[in-house]
Amino acid sequence: MDKKESGDTARIEIIEGQIHEVVEEIQQLIAEKVTVKDTNELEALEKRVVQATDRLASLIVGQKVQQSLDSDELKQDASELAKAYPKKLKNQGQRF
């Protein structure tokens, strides 16, 4: 595995680790025994749930985008596009 592939794998592993952490957080929210006594507590609970699920959604989308960027198919398409371009292009690598 070359240096670039190692970096690609590392990014995906970081995202997957973050996904695992958020899933655990959501599981804790599900298992938590909570008695909501007023609207403030309900809003606070809802906010915690929404933040966790929004973060999970963002991480899953990020994971899929990173996997797509790292796919051989996309790399091949980018290479073909660069070759078809009338002017010479310089490979500046991935940008983050």
Measured between alpha carbons, how far is 55 from 5 in angstroms, rounded to an integer?
A: 26
| High-pLDDT (> 70) share of the chain, % | 84
pLDDT of residue 31 exceeding 90, the answer is: yes
pLDDT at 37: 97
Query: pLDDT tens for residues 41-91?
Result: 999 999 999 999 999 999 999 999 999 888 888 878 877 777 787 877 666
CB atoms near residue 24 (< 10 Å):
10
Enter the pTM of the model: 0.73
Which DSSP helix (H) or strand (E) runs through 41? helix 39-69
pLDDT of residue 23 exceeding 80, the answer is: yes
Query: Mean pLDDT score of the chain, rounded to an integer?
Result: 87
CA distances from 51 to 14, 22, 55, 56, 58 (A): 20, 10, 6, 9, 11
pLDDT of residue 4 exceeding 90, the answer is: no
